[in-house]
Amino acid sequence: MTLQKISNSLEKPTFWAIPTSTLSAAELGEKTAALKQRLESIASRFSDVRFATSLAAEDMVITDAIATGRVNIQLFTLATGRLHQETLDMAQTTEKHYGISIAKAYPEDRDVQAFIDQYGMNGFYDGEAAKKACCGARKIKPLNAALLGADAWLTGQRREQSTTRVKLDFEEHDDARGIAKFNPLFDWTESDIWAYIKQKDAPIHPLHLKGYPSIGCEPCTRQVKKGEDIRAGRWWWLQSDSKECGLHANK
């Protein structure tokens, strides 16, 4: 092996970085106005609307629009028990920045213990079935509980995020929970998201600055190399068609 090849092999990988945006101020203004209109329309149609925020970039765009527009939509986050410390800190930062409260949806101890008894603390690494079981205990059941009594909920999903979301619509019906479901950013690009955040000076999750475009639980999320799919760092040990936890299974 040549000295050059050895040098190349020792180089540190280049990770994903927050993209620059070519969106004009006028174009961003139109998107921002449309988002505000979407949120106000949802809030006017339904009496109890709730937004599940992960505190990542997309969800911060929606949070900013809700908070600054004083839209009557409640915010909550899934406190899975396996989140990065940066995510826990981000919740506090967001509450302080906007003067709002974000409810925490915790898993039931018995559900977590049942998973551990069957698979082990980190058994989700063993395959899709174990991963679904963990997400079921730590995310899906808490989500179901957090949405009890609501007649609509919001997500930060976008069509561009993955192959499983390319046909995403603005409005869906969540048959599993019997309520309406909305994706206000379904037609936004990654560039649009970051243009909004920069213009509004919205809080940025610290992990976005360290190469994490998509953020979930700590043991199931890693940095993404430049050029990789933006969700490649989620459940990286599984196939690309397994990059969902089940939160958005509407049936």
Residue of 135, 217, 220, 245 marked active site: 245
The whole-chain average pLDDT of the chain stands at 91
**Percent share of the chain, pLDDT over 90:** 81
Q: What pLDDT is attached to residue 166?
A: 78
Q: What is the pLDDT of residues 134-177, one digit of tens each?
A: 999 999 999 999 999 999 999 999 988 766 667 799 999 999 99
Q: Is 134 a catalytic residue?
A: no
Mean pLDDT of 203-220: 96
What's 23-242's CATH class? Answer: alpha beta
Report the C-alpha gap between 31 and 192 in whole angstroms. Answer: 8
Mean pLDDT of 213-236: 93
| Better-predicted residue by pLDDT, 13 or 209 | 209
Q: What pLDDT is attached to residue 69?
A: 97
- Cβ count within 10 A of residue 13: 10
> pTM for the full model?
0.90
DSSP string for residues in 57-111: HHHHHHHHHHHHHT-S-EEEEE--S-B-HHHHHHHHHHHHHHT---EEEPPPHHH
Q: Are 111 and 141 spatial neighbours (Cβ–Cβ below 8 Å)?
A: yes
Q: Is 234 helix (H, G, I), strand (E, B) or coil?
A: strand
The number of residues in the chain equals 251
Q: What pLDDT is attached to residue 7?
A: 47
- The domain limits of the chain are 23-242
- What one-letter code names the amino acid at 69? G
Nearest one of 219, 200, 194, 248 to 16, comparing CA atoms = 194
